[in-house]
Amino acid sequence: MHYQRILEEIAAEVRPLIGQGRVAEYIPPLAAVPHDRFGMVVRTVDGQLFAIGDAHERFSIQSIAKVFALTLAMKLDGDDIWLRVGREPSGSAFNSLVQLEIERGIPRNPFINAGALVVLDAILSHGDELLLPFIREAAGDDSIGYDVVVAEAERETGHRNRAMAHFLKSFGNLHNDADRVLDAYFRLCSIAMSCAELATAFSFLATGGGSIATPRQAKRVNAVMLTCGVYDEAGDYAYRVGLPAKSGVGGGVVAVMPDKFTAAVWSPGLSEKGNSLAGTMALELLTTKTAISIF
Amino acid sequence: MHYQRILEEIAAEVRPLIGQGRVAEYIPPLAAVPHDRFGMVVRTVDGQLFAIGDAHERFSIQSIAKVFALTLAMKLDGDDIWLRVGREPSGSAFNSLVQLEIERGIPRNPFINAGALVVLDAILSHGDELLLPFIREAAGDDSIGYDVVVAEAERETGHRNRAMAHFLKSFGNLHNDADRVLDAYFRLCSIAMSCAELATAFSFLATGGGSIATPRQAKRVNAVMLTCGVYDEAGDYAYRVGLPAKSGVGGGVVAVMPDKFTAAVWSPGLSEKGNSLAGTMALELLTTKTAISIF
Amino acid sequence: MHYQRILEEIAAEVRPLIGQGRVAEYIPPLAAVPHDRFGMVVRTVDGQLFAIGDAHERFSIQSIAKVFALTLAMKLDGDDIWLRVGREPSGSAFNSLVQLEIERGIPRNPFINAGALVVLDAILSHGDELLLPFIREAAGDDSIGYDVVVAEAERETGHRNRAMAHFLKSFGNLHNDADRVLDAYFRLCSIAMSCAELATAFSFLATGGGSIATPRQAKRVNAVMLTCGVYDEAGDYAYRVGLPAKSGVGGGVVAVMPDKFTAAVWSPGLSEKGNSLAGTMALELLTTKTAISIF
Amino acid sequence: MHYQRILEEIAAEVRPLIGQGRVAEYIPPLAAVPHDRFGMVVRTVDGQLFAIGDAHERFSIQSIAKVFALTLAMKLDGDDIWLRVGREPSGSAFNSLVQLEIERGIPRNPFINAGALVVLDAILSHGDELLLPFIREAAGDDSIGYDVVVAEAERETGHRNRAMAHFLKSFGNLHNDADRVLDAYFRLCSIAMSCAELATAFSFLATGGGSIATPRQAKRVNAVMLTCGVYDEAGDYAYRVGLPAKSGVGGGVVAVMPDKFTAAVWSPGLSEKGNSLAGTMALELLTTKTAISIF
């Protein structure tokens, strides 16, 4: 497969979309990101890395980090984590309190905000600073860290997440202090990584887990990504892209083709549903051009 | 009208209901209230007071206090308060976040918890301690005050109200610090008064406002009580009782018959909807026996 | 009280609103009604009738007729009708299926479409043509009848009501054939009456029932009108107008002041919530100028 | 792969579940199916068929037939079908009218009842009897047909589907007569096939479409099955089974492993969510024992 040539074709074809969509503006550090960025990486399971555009520039990975949190919680708590969080697609906005109320405090899945809070709460019960070392290990890169400016901005505007944490507490589904969990959450969302770093850090999901997870865990994280990874657009992603994927409001998306490759793409302009506009198109083109998808 | 004889008949007829229903148990001070209490007062607009049972024992008036808060906010902000809170019946549980989300942070009415938080926020913008003096003035009794034990208990278990306050903040409909508003809320709910004190303090609503409100304000507070005063049981109350009324989970209910009387009743056993079981029956008997209602 | 002078003042003050709002356009006969109509009648309990404007022109009373249906069902079935329909305000659009699904086929109240279907079903179980004679008796006028053109138009576009009837059937809360009930419904909505005729036909609600209902029934119909009579605007009506009222999408509204008068008003331009714009203002002015309301 | 041996192991391991769960009882012909049935087939893409238990007994395939309807609609209308129906998981019961109302008449996906009605309506606009020949072609078997008894029973109890059809009509999203579409729907649900016949008829989805669909269409039907094929259990199925699958309330489930095999299983006892209890476990065991899944 000529991945480099395919990436070049993709970059040419998505160009009209770059700068389109809306950039996340709820915190100044995200609003300040230049709208015209585009980078993409394909990393094969044998370790070859193909890159184009701003593939090595770090950006705020935001919700993509929730995949690391879920994987760590599954290692620490096994299947018990599913007693406190579901794994069904949410069918509504990713930070809705409605669903949480109807379902009595059990978030629909670990990738909506309420679910990530519960996952972080579970991890915090095992120790104070377990997540960042785990992410660094997956990425094989100790320079990865929190972006203090982003974390502080999230904290200042995070009234809805704060509401969510107290709401979970009211249902008894938050064991640690709400403020401690919120702190961990705001920091998690602030992590900065590049497409190249993300494609590498996610490679355990294409290789049956490696040193990071068991084959069973890797398969299951992929399954949860496919049904719940891209907010309320899971069906459309499966239909158009056909790969498990996780997106973030920073404009990043990571996709996994088991036994073949991981792909990471970044472009800050978002669709109405909150997924990178050019990034989604780029992944759709990738599975069309390679004729490789899970279906 | 032989109010005293009517009260005696009522007390006899509701006796089988006393001790029935569930007593509010979410905080220890409420759970500790003896289940067998029953008191009732009718106070005519010319100042005669008829009483029976535990009519002079103070209890936690809880949400009944929201009527004072609304009246004060209407005095301070006029009709502007209605830009921030609706006046339609809620059609769902009084502390639901669902409706608040659907209606973009504008609580349905000032008597659901979210609405009371907004009303208190509006009052706090005028000064720090305006509400208690106002209530004391309405009651003509400076001994009325907060119950510190109840307020502290509310604070400790108030995760859902905390969630609500942060949620309102996320919609921009809370101008003061969330914790400051919550403090005022938990204190408001803790006020202790007797049936006799409540009937007196509410008399301005039967007499066209007196020194407490304008005639127009009094009429309108009555209207809001009729459609929103008894949680999700407004229609049933209008049908059975036929008077504007406000209830609290402490088991108190106050009702107003304009130009005739105010009535206050207390019995801690609650219906499924959260209104005093014996209290509701007592008010229904009152309008049946006197043949007086607003309809 | 100088009702005639008050009506003249009201007519002058609401003039700027006439022609405003949207006229119901879902069926051609309603869309064809001239937008500039305005008529109003006050009928005192001693039988004096004060009128202004188009007070004697018949229009499609639409949902106003549901009050007659409820009264007749209460006569025929007594309190049993409340086993099949609630009496709480709906808190959502008057023809919503959502609420019906959540509440397992028990309509919230007899004035939302689903509730009216159940009420008609109950009446049909007693006989085939009971309602029109009942309405003629209340009005004291045998010339009142169905408007065949309107009824046919309703039938042709009534997909949502048809959905509702089958939905009620699926919950077992429709005993007769769905098409038979729908027929009765479409005819009920087509009745044409003038303001003068409506004020007269509703007078039993201001006089304790007369020959049409018992005092208890009259009071209770008033209570249901106050909490449920004006779609999702019950709270606002109670606040601004302060009288039990029932409106229809034809632009009519009837209000009741027990022991004093009935008032009927007609102007086809509707508010967003579906109530007559000028009609609502006219009723608000009536209670302001007479200083008479139930509160 | 020793599929036959694996099927024998599976049959032994699921035995305790057979007879568990509830059998669909809303129509007599389904309620009359013996609870102890279990059959399973794996058909490899090269045409080998492995079977165990009641693999050749026909049962009511119910919603499984919706896959054929979707495939045919995609052939007839191309991507235009997606203008009238979404492809997102529903997040609520498969026959809910709530979601349909909130989303203004556009069903969430083609596998919930409302979506299937729209898909059938689209097919009916091309001709009267196109679907059964298409299913027979996919199955290579002209003996497949409607079960008149089941179809009639569905018609008699189908009040909710009737409500749905009229509701779709009210939104303009049903172009043909509601009764004609309902007829087609009730017949579609009545089709009877065996596990062996289903595995064969679905093989086009494992082989890139064959003569039945284009490769792109086959991939996309698989994607829609994965996210929407098993009612509100899509996430759990992806997690536990890891294959696109479609279930029916008759207790059948068909799953597709692209480029490898199709599998069909039948056991009438259902989980709370409406999927075959033993069937789901059998498919989970199949992917565990073969170590083959799409993830």
**C96, C101, C170 ranked by CB distance to D159: nearest:** C170
**Structure confidence at residue C162 (pLDDT):** 95
- Within 10 angstroms of residue D56's Cβ, the number of other Cβ atoms is 12
**Structure confidence at residue A232 (pLDDT):** 83
- Evaluate whether residue C278 is within a structural domain: yes
- Within 10 angstroms of residue D204's Cβ, the number of other Cβ atoms is 21
First-to-last CA distance in chain C?
19
Residue D91 half-sphere exposure, CB side, CA atoms within 13 Å?
Answer: 28
Choose one of B188, B220, B250: the last residue of a domain.
Answer: B188
Beta bridge partners of D52: D40
Residues D221, D142 share a domain: no
Give the residue from B194, B270, B202 showing the smallest Cα distance to B44. Answer: B202
- Evaluate whether residue B295 is within a structural domain: no
- Evaluate whether residue B103 is within a structural domain: yes
- Evaluate whether residue D114 is within a structural domain: yes
**Residues of D with Cβ-Cβ distance to A109 under 8 angstroms:** 235
CA angle B45, B46, B48 (to 5 degrees): 95
**Structure confidence at residue B92 (pLDDT):** 63
In the block, tokens 């309301």 appear at C293
- Evaluate whether residue B43 is within a structural domain: yes
**Beta strands, E only, B49-151:** 49-53, 59-60
The CA distance from A86 to the nearest CA of chain D, in Å, is 9
Put simply, the answer to whether A101 touches B96 (Cβ < 8 Å) is: yes
**Structure confidence at residue A213 (pLDDT):** 97
C285 inside 8 A of chain B by CB = no
3-state helix, strand, coil in chain B (%, to 5): 50, 10, 40
Chains touching chain B at 3 or more Cβ pairs under 8 angstroms? Answer: A, C
- Evaluate whether residue A295 is within a structural domain: no
The DSSP-derived string for C15-61 is: GGGTT-SB---SSHHHHTS-TT--EEEEEETTS-EEEEESTTS-EE-
Residues B13, B80 share a domain: no
Residues composing chain C: 295
Residues D77, D21 share a domain: no
| Size of the C and D interface in Cβ pairs below 8 Å | 51
CA distance B56 to B143: 14
Residue type, B277: L
Determine the residue of chain C that is closest to D95 in CA distance.
C101
Which CATH number is A132's domain given? 3.40.710.10
Put simply, the answer to whether C97 touches D166 (Cβ < 8 Å) is: no
Residues B275, B183 share a domain: no
Residues C245, C180 share a domain: no
Residues B49, B115 share a domain: no
CA distance C283 to A88: 51
Residues A68, A55 share a domain: no
Q: Classify residue A88 by its DSSP letter.
A: S
- Evaluate whether residue B167 is within a structural domain: yes
In the block, tokens 């043509």 appear at C129
Torsion of CA D112, D114, D119, D122, to 10 degrees: -170
Phi, psi of D118 (to 5 degrees): -65, -40
Residues B171, B68 share a domain: yes
**Structure confidence at residue B1 (pLDDT):** 76
Contact B85, B119 (CB under 8 A): yes
| Size of the B and C interface in Cβ pairs below 8 Å | 99
Domain that holds residue B140: 63-188
Contact A111, A224 (CB under 8 A): yes
**Structure confidence at residue A103 (pLDDT):** 77
The CA distance from D75 to the nearest CA of chain C, in Å, is 30
Contact B76, B122 (CB under 8 A): yes
Number of domains in chain D: 2
CA distance D221 to D254: 13
Residues A254, A170 share a domain: no
Residues C138, C44 share a domain: no
Chain C segment 76-135 residues within 8 A of B by beta carbon are 86-92, 99, 108-109
Helix (H) or strand (E) holding C261: strand C261-266
Q: Running along chain D, 295 residues long, what does each successive block of 10 average in pLDDT?
A: 95 96 91 95 97 98 98 96 92 67 87 95 96 97 95 92 94 96 96 98 97 96 96 91 97 98 97 94 97 95
pLDDT-derived band at C93, boundaries 50, 70, 90: low
CA distance C207 to C261: 9
Is the model more confident about D68 or about C102?
A: D68
Tell me the three-class secondary structure of chain D, residue by residue.
CCHHHHHHHHHHHHHHHCCCCECCCCCHHHHCCCCCCCEEEEEECCCCEEEEECCCCCEECHHHHHHHHHHHHHHHHHHHHHHCCCCCCCCCCCCCCHHHHHCCCCCCCCCCHHHHHHHHHHHHCCCCCCHHHHHHHHHCCCCCCCCHHHHHHHHHHCHHHHHHHHHHHHCCCCCCCHHHHHHHHHHHCCCEECHHHHHHHCHHHCCCCCCCCCHHHHHHHHHHHHHHCCHHHHHHHHHHCCCCEEECCCCEEEEEECCCEEEEEECCCECCCCCEHHHHHHHHHHHHHHCCCCC
Put simply, the answer to whether D97 touches C166 (Cβ < 8 Å) is: no
The structure tokens listed for A2 are: 């000529």
Res C92 pLDDT > 70: no
**D97, D102, D169 ranked by CB distance to C167: nearest:** D97
Choose one of A163, A188, A213: the last residue of a domain.
Answer: A188
Q: Classify residue A265 by its DSSP letter.
A: E
- Within 10 angstroms of residue A292's Cβ, the number of other Cβ atoms is 14
The structure tokens listed for B280 are: 């509701």
pLDDT in tens, C138-162: 999 999 999 999 999 999 989 999 9
Choose one of B155, B172, B188: the last residue of a domain.
Answer: B188
Determine the residue of chain A that is closest to B178 in CA distance.
A159
pTM of the full structure: 0.88
CA distance A278 to A37: 10
CA distance A98 to A111: 16
**Structure confidence at residue A92 (pLDDT):** 63
CA distance A194 to C140: 82
- Evaluate whether residue C295 is within a structural domain: no
Give start and end residues of each alpha helix (H) in B78-177.
98-102, 113-124, 131-139, 148-157, 159-170
The DSSP-derived string for C115-142 is: HHHHHHHHHHTT-SS-HHHHHHHHHT-T
Q: Which residues of chain B have pLDDT under 50?
A: none
Best B102, B162, B171 residue to mutate vs chain A (most A CBs within 10 Å): B162
Res C97 pLDDT > 80: no
Mean pLDDT of chain A: 94
Residue type, A100: L
Contact D269, D250 (CB under 8 A): no
**Beta strands, E only, chain A:** 39-44, 49-53, 59-60, 192-193, 245-247, 252-257, 261-266
Give the residue from B253, B246, B256, B137 showing the smallest Cα distance to B206. Answer: B256
Contact C182, D175 (CB under 8 A): no
**Structure confidence at residue A95 (pLDDT):** 58
In the block, tokens 């004096």 appear at C48
Residues D87, D47 share a domain: no
**Structure confidence at residue A62 (pLDDT):** 96
Contact D283, D243 (CB under 8 A): yes
**Structure confidence at residue A171 (pLDDT):** 94
The CA distance from B233 to the nearest CA of chain C, in Å, is 7
Point out the residues of C that are catalytic. 63, 66, 185, 231, 249
Helix (H) or strand (E) holding C101: helix C97-102
Give the residue from C211, C225, C73 showing the smallest Cα distance to B242. Answer: C225
Point out the residues of A that are catalytic. 63, 66, 185, 231, 249
Residues A83, A11 share a domain: no
Residue type, D39: G
Residue type, A50: F
Residue type, C277: L
CA distance B252 to B232: 16
Convert C54-76 to b/e letters by CB count within 10 Å (16 or more is b).
bbeebbbbbbbbbbbbbbbbbbb
